[in-house]
Amino acid sequence: MTPAQLVKEMPPPKSMASPQKTPKVTFADGDAEEIAAEFPSETGSFAQAMLEQSKALTMLVSQLAANSTDPLTDMSGTLGTLSSKGAAGRARLQAELASHKGTFFLSVMQSMARRMQPGRLAETDMADLRSRGVTATQYLERFGGFGRTRDLGFIIWQVALCMNYMQEENFPAAKDVMSLLFVCLEQSAMDNGNMQVGLLLSLTEDPPHSLFSQRSVATMTHPRPFAPTANQRWVTTALAYLKEMDLISTRRSEISNARGSSDQPAQSSTSSQKGGKGKQNPQTEEEN
């Protein structure tokens, strides 16, 4: 027999046999521990990795939920729940205001730009906004809304003039306007709220008649229950802070009422004892 025939007649070794395909295993959520128990030698490391990953994700979600800074998360709570997120948000806003970075001025001007020119980009510099006609005075001329509060209309017009000068970075002119507004308000307070003399001292021309038009909320596509130039984060923080103050005052009144009701039985018992002693004295005197 030749070597070639000998090789053909020999059976193939086990190592050269075709390997059997193992079926693919899919894992569902929460099945890592069960799979690891059933196949400890084959899928132990993979199941353990999946288990650790699920634990890490659960811990991350719980931390994000605990550190949530949205002021509206507790707005739907009852009197039994008390949170301090409103006070924390107000403290952050005050810290941002104390940093003197001009973020509030920029936010108000961008809100004006979105309302006056909704089809154009609002996140731009002040010079570009002014060249496009986005100023505080033009905003008031266009939307008005101070027909029922004429005194506030005169005051906000002077504030708008000051904002125009600050938008131009003409700070000496802004200082003059704010100083005269201070004099106007002080004189109006001395005149019991009459602003006739105070407005003359402010040296401000009469504002346009459109400023005193009635603002119609129904004309807005999505009317909002707060000032259009205000940031919604400011409003939600203020409302959450007011809710916390109401809860604190309610709890204090409940505690004071509970203490008052507990003191009343003690006072009534002492008064009854005194009354009883007073009735016994005349009887003893008559017997004597």
3-state SS assignment for residue 9: helix
pLDDT of residue 222: 66
Contact between residue 108 and residue 229 where contact means Cβ atoms under 8 Å apart: yes
In a domain, 141, yes or no: yes
In a domain, 124, yes or no: yes
Q: Structural domain of residue 116, as residue ranges? A: 85-216+228-238
- Give me the number of domains the chain comprises: 1
pLDDT of residue 158: 96
Single-letter amino acid, residue 69? T
Single-letter amino acid, residue 262? S
In a domain, 165, yes or no: yes
In a domain, 147, yes or no: yes
pLDDT of residue 82: 55
In a domain, 56, yes or no: no
Q: Which of 114, 116, 106, 107 is nearest to 137 (CA)?
A: 116
> pTM, whole model, 2 decimals?
0.61
Q: What is the mean pLDDT of each run of 10 residues along the chain (288 residues)?
A: 64 54 51 54 69 82 63 47 79 94 94 92 89 94 90 95 95 96 96 94 92 69 80 92 89 83 63 54 49
pLDDT of residue 288: 46
In a domain, 281, yes or no: no
